[in-house]
Amino acid sequence: MPKGYNTLNSPYGRKARVAAIETGQPNIIDWWFMSREERAKEVPALNPLGKIPALVLDDGTLIVDSPVIAAWVDAQHDGVKLIPKEGNERWAVLSLEALGDGLGDAAIAAALESNRQEGEKSQSAIERNISKVNQTLSYLNDLADEFNDPPKMGEISVACAMGYMELRGVAEGWRERFGNLAAWYERIQKRESFKETAIPEGY
């Protein structure tokens, strides 16, 4: 069985797990949920970028990063695809997935910078990243009424990034400012795939 390297709080790793559940393949990957120390020790030998998620197939093929792992998961079943095979719908789904990933990047960067010691942290880096988060939330708020239901890979990526954003308290008060998006986010959290992959307390 393919071996997956992951953590319990990664929005990117969660995307791949949600994709597996949404396509009816909950056990297609044998995940190792690593601690931060295990990741630092083990992952660079597989993925030179040292990042999770990473997937190693039975023949040793390495698959990175999360959009490619998600595409691999989607290629393993014959049902309705999370990533449409052709047409403008394909490019719209992949672009929404990329926006979700970028939202996760900005939320992580803001959270990491905020956690640095006083005197070492850059207020301008924090503000730049929070501004990217807010701009993206505003853009998504305008699109939310047209989101796919059931979700495709774009919506999955956005919701996973927002889960991390909430966990770290980036963009406080976003629900009041972006009501459409908040209503959609509440609905998607009720899906089995999101409940099963919720970030545990304490992360």
Question: Is residue 12 near ligand GSH by the rule CB under 6 A?
Answer: yes
Q: Which residues in the 79-108 window bind ligand GSH by CB under 6 A?
A: 101
Alpha carbon distance 181, 117 (integer Å) = 33
CB 69, CB 59: distance < 8 Å:
no
Question: Is residue 166 near ligand GSH by the rule CB under 6 A?
Answer: no
E strand spans, the chain: 3-6, 30-33, 54-56, 62-63
Is the CB of 51 or the CB of 168 nearer to ligand GSH?
51
Is the CB of 28 or the CB of 34 nearer to ligand GSH?
34
CB 32, CB 3: distance < 8 Å:
yes
E strand spans, 137-194: none
Question: Is residue 51 near ligand GSH by the rule CB under 6 A?
Answer: yes
Dihedral over Cα of 189, 192, 193, 199: its sign:
positive
Of the candidate spans 22-30, 50-58, 86-94, 183-191, the one that interacts with ligand GSH by CB under 6 A turns out to be: 50-58
The site for ligand GSH, by CB under 6 A, has a size of 9
Least distance in Å: CB of 10 to ligand GSH?
4
Q: What are phi and psi of 63, to 5 degrees?
A: -120, 120
Least distance in Å: CB of 179 to ligand GSH?
28
Among 14, 21, 34, 66, binds ligand GSH (CB under 6 A): 66
Question: Is residue 72 near ligand GSH by the rule CB under 6 A?
Answer: no
